[in-house]
Amino acid sequence: MNSTTNSLNIAVVTVSDTRTEDTDKSGAVLVSSLQAVGHKLSSKFIVRDDIYQLRAVISSLIADKEIQAVLMTGGTGFTARDNTYTAITPLFDLDIYGFGELFRQLSYEEIGSSTIQSRAFAGLANGTIVFCLPGSPGACATGWDKIIVEQLDSSHKPCNFTDKLSF
């Protein structure tokens, strides 16, 4: 990060019924990526793929004025246990439709038409930005490296999301 970039407090949430801290490779990608550019990891959770548990954890994070961003991984597919979209979208004040669209475009270059099964999405809630990515390390790297890192960088032009976040 350069000196004009704000360091953000970011929470990482892995949505999984099976991952542990030892096996959470996707969460680890997000943690190392955000720290590598000077952001601060405010907290990290692994939450079961349950609508109400997810809403409870994410609601508490977006209510915390010290947290500016939440990075979520997992639960964005089409199985019966993929509840992230259903759980989180009602919490948004504004949807960021372009995030999912751009993510799927970039992902198509990597995994082809299988990207159609991704429900990656993002939104703003109470001055906090929430990015929801698929549960693979590759998807987390793509989302971070090609979209999120620039949008959380106050020096990125012509625009970024830092002026919309609570500090």
Answer whether 123's CB lies under 8 Å from 94's CB.
yes
Answer whether 83's CB lies under 8 Å from 51's CB.
yes
158 preceded by cis ω (within 30°)?
yes
- Quick one: how many helices (H) and strands (E) in the chain? 6, 6
Residue 26 CB partners (closer than 8 Å, separation 6+) = 14, 19, 73, 74, 133, 135, 136, 137, 139, 140
Answer whether 87's CB lies under 8 Å from 74's CB.
no
Tens of pLDDT along 42-53? Answer: 999 999 999 999
pLDDT tens for the chain, residues 1 to 167: 443 358 999 999 999 999 999 999 999 999 999 999 999 999 999 999 999 999 999 999 999 999 999 999 998 888 888 899 999 999 999 999 999 999 999 999 999 898 888 999 999 999 999 999 999 999 999 999 999 999 999 999 999 999 999 88
- Dig out the tokens for 12 from the structure: 């990482």
Strand 69-73 relative to strand 128-133, pairing: parallel
The pTM for the full model equals 0.94
Distance of alpha carbon 43 from its chain centroid, rounded? 13
Q: Which CATH architecture group holds 9-164?
A: 3-Layer(aba) Sandwich (3.40)
